[in-house]
Structure 1
Amino acid sequence: MEESRMRQGNTPGSCSNVTTVCAEDDALQRKGHSARTLSPEEAEKLAKGQGLVSEFKQLKLEKEAQKNWDLFYKRNSTNFFKDRHWTTREFEELKACRQFAGQKLTILEAGCGVGNCLFPLLEEDLHIFAYACDFSPRAVEYVKQNPLYSPERCQVFQCDLTRDDLLQHVPAESVDVVTLIFVLSAIHPDKMHLVLRNIYKVLKPGKCVLFRDYGLYDHAMLRFKAGSKLAENFYVRQDGTRSYFFSEEFLSQLFRAEGYEQVANDYVQRETVNRKEQLCVPRVFLQGKFQKPSSET
């Protein structure tokens, strides 16, 4: 149910440097409000990597964020992530929010990548119209080149959600569901509120944002070596792309500060098996649902 391939914390983001993980038994999934507890060895390893990347390099990474993601998609094309066929299973709102059968549903996929979530949704549900955007112009072009892409059912556009106004592409309060899946973690934590503020403008009152991303102490967080830390729970990979690991408290405060109501906010803990290397690693994700109030006060 999580990202089908796990990027190593300190290696380039190419397919040859990716650890493939296998789907695991659903019985191994646990949800709750408690973060994963580190072993003494894990805590020691994490403590050793507390030195921060220099301010000069941090500014350079922020300035080159779009370029680094564009290069990521240039290297990996559409082959890095597997299609996400689990979204309607994990988020029943994608089906249950309709008031009658066959009701048209308008969604916004914020950070669509090359369409790994978008196209399975459009295939599964013929009554969905989707707006989709991504930071990377190259990723947007890959979406448009997909044989399943149809302008009648999907409008895709390039957008920096921290700077570009979504109202240039999406009518105000026209969207029933926003998906924010493995996207916010790639954005500097100081700018995450700008994304939520931008999304708020196009979301209908009473409708929701569906969130899933990396959780605190996920295995990927523990793989980063010294010299990769940018800020608390925020790291840079060797290819220049960045990843934040969310705590339940931080995510709750982030959404509430922008006027959303929290409906759900849980850690999802799983054990992922790499049968090839005979490894079992702990994955931690944060999954939430945050609603725009039905009426403004």
Structure 2
Amino acid sequence: MSVTGELDSTESSSGFPHQSTNLGERMLTVEEMEKLKNDRVLVSDFKQQKLETDAQKNWDLFYKRNTTNFFKDRHWTTREFDELRNSRESEGQTLVLLEAGCGVGNCIFPLLEEDLSIFIYACDFSPRAVEFVKQNPLYCTDRCLAFQCDLTKDDLQTNIQAETVDVATLIFVLSAIHPDKMQQSLENIFKVLKPGGIVLFRDYGLYDHAMLRFKSGNKLGDNFYVRQDGTRSFFFSREYLDSLFQRAGFEVAVNEYVLRETVNKKEGLCVPRVFLQSKFCKPAPSQHLS
């Protein structure tokens, strides 16, 4: 199992046995419920403060160790999100995309290869990750601008004009941010989105296998854990994510659990995965009229 809880493996869309009918939420086994119930000890306040202080350093060290070899390129994004397909109607129309938390470019470079009518703003918390993006042979400043940014603090408008982005992506990014700072991150994205613009979201869902693998002593709070390398991961319920985006000014278009089995033939593993795949819209001006 990788540091992020993602297996180098094959996903099956068949679902898995212990599945709830309550809005698609996964139902736990008795053993899993007992494990979560008994995991009550939280990491000390001192250590939690240090993890927050060292968050950027820990992600920079992650990319120092793994360089560009850890994640696979995400060629699935255009299949899952119609908004990323090359479907602009008028010739010469460019889609302006913000990839928030771009890592080393596993999402942006497949998009740049597939679509000539796209411009991508790409930002990441880790300066090292941004440098890897800029060193990629496909990186071209005519079609992409990569920059370091702390979504919880920095103003995206330093690099992006207000209300100029058509689509923003948050793919396995928000879960790495402290829950107290998630709303501020979303509000920062809200400012650069055009009215009617959309955020495409995919991240860890409640009761994902990665959540249940954490041992006692790694819990930071409700559904929030720290990995061995100091990076952190939050696991979202559908209701929590709805509330978070709505408080930041967004409207919910789609917010659904995605239930999968991940198969790792090499290790003989078949485990239940839970993700949230969602779309949130910035209201257009007409929607504010009474």
> Given the two structures, how large is their TM-score scaled by the length of structure 1?
0.91
Structure 1: runs of 5 or more not aligned: 10-18
**Pair 1:7-2:3 in alignment:** yes
**Pair 1:185-2:154 in alignment:** no
What CA deviation, in whole Å up to 9, does each residue of 1:57-76 have, x standing for no partner? 00000011000000000011
Counterpart secondary structure, 1:164: coil
**Pair 1:21-2:8 in alignment:** yes
Shift of 1:106: 0.4
Partner of residue 83, structure 2: 93
Q: What CA distance in whole angstroms lies between the structure 2 residues aligned with 1:271 and 1:219?
A: 10
Shift of 1:54: 0.4
Q: What CA distance in whole angstroms lies between the structure 2 residues aligned with 1:60 and 1:97?
A: 46
Partner of residue 12, structure 1: none
Q: 1:74 to 1:32 in 2, by over 3 A?
A: farther
2:256 to 255, 259, 266: 266
**Pair 1:282-2:269 in alignment:** no
Letter in 2 for 1:204: K
Q: How does 1:56-71 map to 2 (within 5 A)?
A: 56-71=46-61
What CA deviation, in whole Å up to 9, does each residue of 1:201-245 have, x standing for no partner? 100001100000000000000010001000100000010000000
Partner of residue 13, structure 1: none
1:107, 1:178 within 8 Å by CA — same for their partners in 2? yes
1:133, 1:159 within 8 Å by CA — same for their partners in 2? yes
Q: What CA distance in whole angstroms lies between the structure 1 residues aligned with 2:11 and 2:38?
A: 31
Counterpart secondary structure, 1:7: coil
Shift of 1:7: 2.6
**Pair 1:209-2:199 in alignment:** yes
Partner of residue 64, structure 2: 74
User: Percent sequence identity over matched residues?
Assistant: 67
Q: What CA distance in whole angstroms lies between the structure 2 residues aligned with 1:32 and 1:73?
A: 38
Q: What CA distance in whole angstroms lies between the structure 1 residues aligned with 2:264 and 2:4?
A: 14
1:209, 1:289 within 8 Å by CA — same for their partners in 2? yes
Shift of 1:274: 1.1
Q: What CA distance in whole angstroms lies between the structure 2 residues aligned with 1:149 and 1:127?
A: 15
Partner of residue 236, structure 1: 226
Q: What CA distance in whole angstroms lies between the structure 2 residues aligned with 1:202 and 1:217?
A: 33
Partner of residue 134, structure 2: 144
1:166 to 152, 156, 159: 156
2:130, 2:148 within 8 Å by CA — same for their partners in 1? yes
Partner of residue 211, structure 2: 221
Shift of 1:22: 1.9
Q: What CA distance in whole angstroms lies between the structure 1 residues aligned with 2:251 and 2:87?
A: 17
Q: 1:62 to 1:138 in 2, by over 3 A?
A: same
The size of the alignment, in residue pairs, is 284
Q: 1:153 to 1:96 in 2, by over 3 A?
A: closer
Counterpart secondary structure, 1:199: helix
Q: How does 1:32-43 map to 2 (within 5 A)?
A: 33-43=23-33
Shift of 1:42: 1.1
1:206, 1:294 within 8 Å by CA — same for their partners in 2? yes
Letter in 2 for 1:21: D
Shift of 1:6: 3.8
Structure 2: runs of 5 or more not aligned: none
Partner of residue 241, structure 2: 251
What CA deviation, in whole Å up to 9, does each residue of 1:62-101 have, x standing for no partner? 0110000000000110111110000000111112773435
Counterpart secondary structure, 2:10: coil
Counterpart secondary structure, 2:185: helix
Q: What CA distance in whole angstroms lies between the structure 2 residues aligned with 1:277 and 1:85?
A: 24
Q: CA RMSD in A?
A: 1.9
Partner of residue 110, structure 1: 100
Q: 1:101 to 1:40 in 2, by over 3 A?
A: farther
Counterpart secondary structure, 1:42: helix
Q: What CA distance in whole angstroms lies between the structure 1 residues aligned with 2:40 and 2:64?
A: 32
What CA deviation, in whole Å up to 9, does each residue of 1:256-285 have, x standing for no partner? 011111000000000011111222100000
